[in-house]
Amino acid sequence: MKPIKVYVLTVLFSTGIGIESSAAATLALPLSQQVQQVTDWFTGLFNNDQQVENLPMTPPITMANCSVELLGGNFPEGGETLYLEQTTGGFPFRTRFYTFSASQSQVNLSVRSFLEPAPLLGLCDRPSSERVVSFSNIIDQPCDVKLDWQPGVYVGTNDPEGCLTNSGGKVISDIAITANTINSLDQIFDSNGTLLFATPIEFRRVEAVEEPSSILELLAFGFLGMGIHFRKRFKHQLNAN
């Protein structure tokens, strides 16, 4: 049996909390506004210092997300484009090209990798005029997540299909985005369906902005961190090995 590394999030579900009728009845924003809003919420500098303080075994991660100009081409979905860079201990370990776009009744998040990420490192620290990404440097094999709008939060998952990995396995992603937080969970499976790695990360904006208050936002974090489906899947994988 291969080792499985799991960091546990606190469940925020509560059966004793009521939801005000005015919040529950809030109408969804037009889809074009949803695309712009979730892009704005995702843009900025984030870290998981608070999570590391509470769970010292969690890896410390800083994440910088900034808008970029795409030169030399475009993707069919168009939308808002961002560059993402994650570092730990000052060393970059993950760079991605993000696109938020409208897809029927949801916001579609497409994540793509780069052929040569090294020239892009530190891109968000450069002047906005220099934040340019070449279309030819992007691998057009997107991993998509559909985001559903709720008052104060966008919640998404690509379970059960996930996205294929180079080793023949797959990664299943869950995400919840608010004005000041990004909570994510990536579950990585091998080609036999064995869970190898699952790391919930709780990002907080370094400089917070005013965000809406909503009980649904708390429920979304509970869904992301320790949803019933994930617990059952994890136990099943342990029993199978």
In a domain, 22, yes or no: no
In a domain, 17, yes or no: no
Query: Which pLDDT value is given to residue 211?
Result: 54
Residues 6+ apart with CB under 8 A from 201: 48, 51, 58, 61, 183, 184, 185
Query: Which pLDDT value is given to residue 207?
Result: 87
In a domain, 230, yes or no: yes
pTM of the model: 0.79
In a domain, 14, yes or no: no
In a domain, 101, yes or no: yes
In a domain, 16, yes or no: no
Query: Which pLDDT value is given to residue 173?
Result: 96
Q: Which residues of the chain have pLDDT under 70?
A: 1-26, 210-241
Query: Which pLDDT value is given to residue 212?
Result: 52
SS3 14: coil
In a domain, 182, yes or no: yes
Residue-number span of the structural domain to which 48 is assigned: 5-9+27-240
Cβ–Cβ < 8 Å for 80, 102: no
Query: Which pLDDT value is given to residue 26?
Result: 60
Tokens 């997300």 correspond to 65
Query: Which pLDDT value is given to residue 36?
Result: 97
Query: Which pLDDT value is given to residue 15?
Result: 27
> Count of domains in the chain?
1
- Domain with 85 in it: what CATH number? 2.40.128.590
In a domain, 15, yes or no: no
